[in-house]
Amino acid sequence: MNKPPLRVLHTSDWHIGRTLYGRKRYESFAAFLLWLGETIREERVDVLVVAGDVFDTSAPSNRSQELYYRFLCRIREHCRHVVIVAGNHDSPSFLAAPKELLRALNVHVIGAMSDDPAEETLVLRGRDGEPELIVCAVPYLRDRDIRTSEAGESLEDKEAKLLEGIRRHYAAVCALAASERSRPDLPLLATGHLFAAGGLTQEGDGVRQLYVGSLARVGADCFPDCIDYLALGHLHIPQKLGGSETRRYSGSPLPMNFGERTGKSVCLVDFTGRKAAVRCLPVPCFQALERVEGDWGRIESRLKALAGADAKPWLEIVYTGAEVMSDLRDRLEKLVDGTGMELIRVKNARLIERALHREDADSLDALDVHEVFERCLAAHEVPEEQRPELRRAYQETVASLLEADARAE
């Protein structure tokens, strides 16, 4: 009797706790994790791989943690192994703190890279006790862990050291993993949380450049040929690396902004020996997002059509008409009142232009940085209840930039 393929589900970039222009999205995260658990059960997934950015911040809220741990408990009966590596948004120490306890549930957590490749090499065993998959569980590789800085080195030197550090680390972990193969057909899967060369992003999706200088993209040659499937995280658009069927970004399961409303998926990987067959499963839309852009006539027409169809999306309105409309939000509120639609963001391009270029300001250089931010809040008509959180984030960013400048001096 032929043994069924080993089935792996690859996902990443959950970003549990992330808000959308200040609006909390816990219901969407809960719905996704419920769907993922049902998918694992229905598809009879053997191994779940999460390639980084479980949480959106290094100090996730209690509710975010509750969603995460409840999910892990819920799938224990349906999935033999779970492999989770930290991304650049995760706190390595926070994520790995309960790893000994989670190991009892066959949940393997790698928070940070180790000088010992064995710490990132997992031999997963089937119900018969025999090895069924080797995993090179490589987390996000931080600059300070893979590169030593030297006085007077050029930007090109730094970039070269970074690439060499990444290449060297993967080579060491994969070499050990390959040596652990107890039979020739034992598959090897590697994870990564990085920005690969040729990777696609979208404006406003929150994807960060990970390293100093211009280096943000790691070449495909950094990954050894012994890898049978490369499960990548960090980029939010599902995509192949270099056109390869078996080197992929699963993408984020929820849209990170209004520009990426559709096309979310997870990767289902069937291993027959070392041969991997990949199928992308579409993730349902848990909260419809709609961007409406144009002059007032176009915006009004579209909102009325959505209301007529009983649609209940979260809305981003981008007004680009020639007329200056200082009462834009009031008009929009009247249109959506009682419809179930919600205004999440209103961008009034004409008002922004007038605010930034009005006659009583000679130039932006004459304004305090905080005054510019306050004008932008007003120009975007950001609701008052959202402004304190945005101000705090802005002030922290300015403070960190000033601190960096001081260190540089």
Radius of gyration of the chain (CA): 24
CATH, range 6-282: 3.60.21.10
Kind and range of the H or E element at 276?
strand 275-282
pLDDT of amino acid 407: 47
Residue 345 and residue 329 in contact, taking contact as beta carbons nearer than 8 Å: no
Residue 355 burial (C-beta neighbours within 10 Å; 0-12, 13-18, 19+):
middle
Specify the domain boundaries for CATH 3.30.160.720 within the chain: 289-408
Work out whether strand 121-125 and strand 107-110 pair parallel, antiparallel, or are unpaired: unpaired
Per-position b or e across 147-178, b if 16+ CB within 10 A of its CB: beeeeeeeeeebbebbbebbbebbebbbebbb
Residue 341 and residue 312 in contact, taking contact as beta carbons nearer than 8 Å: yes
Specify the domain boundaries for CATH 3.60.21.10 within the chain: 6-282
Residue 300 and residue 310 in contact, taking contact as beta carbons nearer than 8 Å: no
Question: Global pTM?
Answer: 0.82
Quick one: fold of 289-408?
Double Stranded RNA Binding Domain (3.30.160)
pLDDT of amino acid 353: 60
pLDDT tens sequence for the chain (409 residues): 577 899 999 999 999 999 998 899 999 999 999 999 999 999 999 999 999 999 999 999 999 999 999 999 999 999 999 999 999 999 999 999 999 999 999 999 999 999 999 999 999 999 999 999 999 999 999 888 887 766 666 777 777 888 888 999 999 999 999 999 989 999 999 999 998 877 776 665 556 555 444 344 688 888 999 999 999 999 999 999 988 999 999 999 999 888 776 689 999 999 999 999 999 999 999 999 999 999 999 999 999 999 999 999 999 999 998 887 888 999 999 999 999 999 999 988 766 666 555 544 445 545 567 777 877 787 777 777 778 778 877 876 776 665 555 444 4
